[in-house]
Homo-oligomer: A and B are copies of this chain.
Amino acid sequence: MQSIHQHPRLPRRVTLLATLSLLILAAAAAVAADSLLIKEQGSFFVGGRTIFTDALTGSATGFLGSGINSGNITVDQMYVQYQIPEGADSHAPVVMVHGCCLSSKSYETTPDGRMGWNEYFLRKHRAVYLPDQVSRARSGFDATIYNEIKLGKRPPSDMPEIRTATSDIAWLGFRFGPSVGKAFPDEQFPVEAMEEFGKQVIPDLNGGLPTVNPTWTNLSGLAIKLKGAVLMGHSESGFFPEQAALINPKDIKALITIESLCNAMSPEQISKLAKIPTLVVFGDHITDVPNSPINWKERFESCGKFVEQVNAAGGDATMMHLPKYGQFGNSHMLMQDKNSNQVADLILKWIDEHVENKKPTKSASN
């Protein structure tokens, strides 16, 4: 009898435990499938210096008519927003820098409302850091020169160029199609959301920055602050990771250059950069837009040469031309393209293999 009594009890207990375990697993899976588990998030600034301005406002009566129109302000600071998801301890943080006439919105929700790379990388357990370039968006800019012109203290010709882009320039320059309004048959950019994309385009005041762009110095500072980071740049900022590494390579774990011009480098510079794994990414249709205001062939070739030079110097540089990796139809804005997650997967795989598993760098003969 005891055994009869006991046998039904054992399964009952087992069933109860199994049910509980299943409930826990289901709850965990539900969290994993839908919600983001964020261990820490926030924002901070890197860099910045205090200057004296003699044109705090463009009004002769000063700030709110108080008569105060000079004093100390902060310039060259770089705003950085970040999130650290659960499970990020085993991966290097990824810093994503935006391009011309854009902010780090580039990496958030896509124009057609899909998940951006910032969230996709978080879901792959990477801490993500999104800076706004110095002189753009939440990083602010030094308005002194504009106010001095307004107040008649300087001629208008002293004004730095402010750069914006039209939707037509974006269509052709960003390779959405061969002519304005016409998309490539395999185009991956969500051209139906062109109007939403236009809202991301904001004035670019980099023309007023010094020769050594403070964003480069601040990116180096950010890598050091994070005790190791992968630096990723796009378009205007595509070569910023390399520029940051030339200032100070400390704690820069990888350089990712997306759709950019690669500057000509001296052998000394190449030798310095060759110590850091490097990835260059380009989309499709490089030479397929006859009237593009941007010469993509020249940029692609400049980066091809750079990759060769780095590898010749014993480095580990990869040219990821997406069509050669099975991804077709990608535009310049590949982080917003319809296959953005697949492109991200290729980059994540490269990080896993070349940065985090510390695969030995190729020898010069490879």
Residues on A lying within 8 angstroms of B by beta carbon are 2, 13, 16-17, 20, 24, 31, 34-39, 41-45, 48, 50, 53, 56-59, 63-64, 66, 68, 70-74, 77, 79, 81, 86, 103-105, 108-109, 113, 115-116, 119, 132, 137-141, 143, 146-147, 149-150, 152, 156-157, 159-169, 195-196, 198-203, 207, 293-294
Given contacts A71-B166, A71-B168, A73-B166, 11 further A-B pairs with CB under 8 A are A24-B24, A37-B37, A41-B119, A42-B109, A45-B199, A63-B293, A70-B166, A72-B168, A77-B199, A79-B103, A138-B202
> Considering the chains assembled together, what is the distance between the CA atoms of A233 and B58 in angstroms?
25
**Pairwise interchain contact B165-A161, C-beta atoms closer than 8 A:** no
Q: Check B169–A68 contact: CB distance below 8 A.
A: yes
Minimum CB–CB distance from A273 to chain B (whole Å) comes to 26
Q: Is the CB of A146 within 8 A of B146?
A: yes
Contacts of A41 in B (CB 8 A): 36, 119
Cβ of A234 to closest chain B Cβ, rounded Å: 16
Provided the pairs A138-B138, A146-B146 are in contact, do residues A161 and B202 lie with their beta carbons within 8 angstroms? no
Q: Can you pick out 14 interface pairs between chain A and chain B where the beta carbons lie within 8 Å of each other? A: A2-B2, A35-B86, A36-B41, A37-B37, A42-B116, A44-B109, A57-B162, A58-B160, A66-B293, A79-B103, A143-B164, A149-B149, A149-B159, A150-B157
Query: Which of B68, B161, B165 is within 8 Å of A59, CB to CB?
Result: B161
Contacts of A59 in B (CB 8 A): 161, 163
- In the bound complex, how far is the Cα of B167 from the Cα of A139, in angstroms? 17
Q: How far is the CA of A165 from the CA of B140 in the complex (A)?
A: 12
Cβ–Cβ contact A38 & B39, under 8 A: no
- Roughly how many angstroms separate A38 CA and B115 CA in the complex, as a whole number? 14
Determine if A202 and B109 form an interchain contact, defined as CB atoms under 8 angstroms apart.
no
Which among B104, B137, B161 is the interface contact of A57 at CB below 8 angstroms?
A: B161
Q: What is the distance, in angstroms, from A344's C-beta to the closest C-beta of chain B? A: 16
Q: How many copies does the complex hold?
A: 2
Whether A169 lies near B71 (C-beta < 8 A) is yes
Contact yes or no, B43 A109, CB < 8 A: yes
Query: Is A162's CB under 8 angstroms from B74's CB?
Result: no
Question: Measured between alpha carbons, how far is A150 from B155 in the docked complex, in Å?
Answer: 9
Residues of B within 8 A of A202 (CB): 138-141
Q: B2, A57: Cβ atoms under 8 Å? A: no
Partner of A203, one of B48, B70, B115, B140: B140
Interchain nearest-CB distance for A326 vs B (Å): 28
Q: From residue A12, how far is it (CB to closest CB) to chain B in Å?
A: 10
Inter-subunit contact A156/B152 (CB<8 Å): yes
Among residues of B, the one whose C-beta sits closest to the C-beta of A28 is B27
Most-contacted residue by chain B among A74, A116, A167 (CB, 10 A): A74
Q: How far is the CA of A16 from the CA of B37 in the complex (A)?
A: 28
Neighbouring B residues of A58 by C-beta, 8 Å: 159-163, 207
What's the nearest-Cβ distance from chain B to residue A20, in Å? 6
Given the complex of chains A and B, what is the CA–CA distance between A206 and B53 in angstroms?
A: 20
Provided the pairs A35-B37, A36-B41 are in contact, do residues A56 and B161 lie with their beta carbons within 8 angstroms?
Answer: no
Q: For the complex of A and B, list the 9 residue pairs with the smallest distance between their C-beta atoms, beginning with the closest.
A: A140-B202, A71-B166, A42-B109, A66-B293, A143-B203, A45-B199, A77-B199, A58-B161, A74-B198
